[in-house]
Amino acid sequence: MNVRITGTGSALPGKILTNAELEQLIDTSDDWITTRTGIKERRIAADGEYTSTFAAAAGRKALAMAEVKPEEIDMILLGTVTPDFPFPSTACIVQDLLGATNATAFDLSAACSGFIFGLSIAEKYIRSGSARRILVIGAEILSRIVDWTDRNTCILFGDGAGAAVVEATCDSDGLLSTHIFSNGNCWNLLFQPGSGSRNPATAQRTIDERLLYIRMEGNEVFKHAVRAMEEAAIAALDSNSMKASDVSLFIPHQANRRIIDAIAKRLCLPAEKVFVNLHNYGNTSSASIPIALDEANRSGQIAKGNIVLLDSFGGGFTYGSALLRW
């Protein structure tokens, strides 16, 4: 059985936080942020909006495009590092919000690679005949685990969600391959120290020592991201006997413009084949690729038969790729 994405959707908070507004909060400048990252603004969730709110909204749009009813979904896979609660799974809350009564639902923790990891699991379940329709979502509210006093990190991240309906198909087109990788050696270069079993919450640890918030060795992450995303992209191309020149659209994880440019250069991909929207949203972790895929899809930047390469990198480290013939 082959596997195909039949619908995409995305949902973003209405509130925009610009670089100019960040200049009022911390010692930074629009020029520094733009030059070093490419980010101009990001979306920030309002009170009363949760990861599940955006995940369900993105999921609804993907289901509508695929013309699939919620009760026809066999599984909901939600990649997130900012779940509504440590448990239960935010995917179960999304199941409830959507009325996807026949789905098995669970979260997966692969940081910014959450959507690609979800896509890979969905592919295996469908190819094996164990499921026919799976809703894969990446959703985050990173603004709630960002240290707004740390200029090294708070400028980078944003909130939002993206989703895809993945279905069994007899077509030869569709998902050609997924590759997922981990490098646990580097887990401590990008992580959230507090709120888990290693540093259980206390006022001192969680708040005063700021363990609730994202910690990142930006320079190290940068170097690993470029190498790993190149490796994942080449794995996708090699396993399908393709070259980078066969790719119609490259959709990389949207973390930093310089990371994207470096990978595109290594793969010899011209700028017009590289999808970039991080100037609008910053790094939305697991949501970045499905939001970008949905924007590219709805704006007509992907046509039937196009070869689309998705490429991710995130905390863990985790990284991976998916190659599709649309």
By CB under 6 A, name the binding residues for ligand ACO. Answer: 28, 32-33, 36-37, 111-112, 151-152, 155, 190, 216, 218-219, 221-222, 225, 255-256, 259, 283, 285, 313-315
Nearer to ligand ACO, 106 or 222 (CB): 222
Q: What is the DSSP letter of 46?
A: P
- Write down the least CB distance from residue 47 to ligand ACO, Å: 25
Catalytic residue selected from 92, 154, 224, 253? 253
Grouping H, G, I as helix, E, B as strand and the rest as coil, residue 19 is helix
DSSP line for 48-103: T--HHHHHHHHHHHHHHHHT--GGG--EEEEE-SS-SSSSS-HHHHHHHHHT-TT-
User: Is beta strand 75-79 parallel, antiparallel or unpaired with respect to 104-108?
Assistant: parallel
Which residue lies nearer to ligand ACO by CB, 151 or 210?
Answer: 151
Position with the least CB separation from ligand ACO = 218
Minimum Å distance from CB 216 to ligand ACO? 6
Q: How far is the CB of 6 from ligand ACO (least distance, A)?
A: 27
Q: For this structure, is 283 an active site residue?
A: yes
Respond yes or no: is residue 112 known to be catalytic.
yes
CB of 14 to ligand ACO, least distance (A): 23
Q: Minimum Å distance from CB 2 to ligand ACO?
A: 30
Do 121 and 79 form a contact (C-beta atoms < 8 A)?
A: no
- The one-letter amino acid at 56: A
Closest contact distance (angstroms) between CB of 225 and ligand ACO is 5
Using only C-alpha atoms, what is the Rg of the chain?
19
Specify the long-range contacts of residues 233-237, CB closer than 8 Å, at least 24 apart: 233/263, 233/267, 233/309, 233/311, 233/321, 234/267, 235/179, 235/321, 236/176, 236/177, 236/179, 236/309, 236/311, 236/321, 236/322, 236/323, 237/309, 237/323
Question: Which one of the listed residues 19, 92, 112, 280 is annotated catalytic?
Answer: 112
How long, in residues, is the chain? Answer: 326
| Residue 185, burial from CB neighbour count under 10 angstroms (0-12, 13-18, 19+) | exposed
Structure-block tokens of residue 311: 């490429």
Active-site amino acid positions:
112, 253, 283
